[in-house]
Chain A
């Protein structure tokens, strides 16, 4: 089927759905276990036919519109993580299963909730990455119950309370995490900033999920953030906050 696609179309298709996303989107469930606890309603661990496992969350304790809000934000946060190079939100898609629409996220084996982990087991630089990510997506709900640790690395799950608003005046994170941007992250962010094509694809994908004003403000915030990284990867917090004020 791909033979009929032109080169640019094929490139766009590859950007839009990674192989893991395609598995999540198209695979049927071989086994499902309804999870106890959690307060969000109807969350399930699922085994995908012939390929891995996932956590399906329809957020069914919330009324329909709010549930759909959470589901779309879970997917949006994954896209941001993937396109900007954070690479720590497991592949996440929006999936309809019978009469329920939910987020389906790849299950990470042997990962432990941060609250059940010693702080010293988290590698240097990982918290900074998470703080930067949350500031960019305006995630208002990060605590040790909604990120995981595996081999010292952070896995950012439960991103439903992000993109609540278009703009913010100031950073939520503590400055100690933002004085310096980890080199590998800075490099990936700058790569993203230099690719008009990737920016356009991400903008389009986010607009399928979120209000246009929120997406435009987010893209401006990312641009401002990257412009506030100095050559030595120190972060100019004042410059960024000034950008934020001017964006409003």
Chain B
């Protein structure tokens, strides 16, 4: 199963997994964990940095593409997304 993890940076420099997102059997994204972050991801979507003008938005229905783009949207260090993992 393909999935990604969100890491929240703590004051001591360690990171904590606060959300995991994965593809369901329909190829859509599902997430578990911090409800505020999940709601914002679901409702606001994320930026598609692979599109030419970087202005396209991706949502849960975009499945794998959404998962692939998360690590480029969340790069601040304070809240990072991993690349796609497999289990």
| Chain A residues at the B interface, C-beta cutoff of 8 Å | 31, 33, 35-40, 43, 45-47, 53, 55, 57, 108-113, 115-118, 140-141, 143-146, 148, 157-158
Contacts and interface: CB of A to CB of B under 8 A. Distances in A.
A39 B47 contact: no
Nearest to B19: A116
Interface in B17-74: 18, 34, 36-37, 40-41, 44, 46-47, 54, 71-74
Given A118-B36, A141-B54, A35 B11 contact: no
Nearest to B71: A39
Contacts, number: 102
Contacts of B75: 38-40, 43, 145-146, 158
Main secondary structure of the interface of B (DSSP, over half): mixed
Contacts of B80: 35-39, 43
B60 to A, nearest CB: 14
A110 to B, nearest CB: 7
Main secondary structure of the interface of A (DSSP, over half): loop
Interface of B: 5-9, 11, 13-15, 18, 34, 36-37, 40-41, 44, 46-47, 54, 71-83
A45 B78 CA distance: 9
A145 B83 contact: no
Contacts of A35: 7, 9, 15, 77, 80
B68 to A, nearest CB: 10
Nearest to B41: A115
Given A39-B71, A143-B46, 13 more contacts: A33-B13, A36-B80, A39-B81, A110-B11, A115-B40, A115-B41, A116-B40, A116-B79, A118-B36, A141-B47, A143-B73, A148-B76, A157-B76
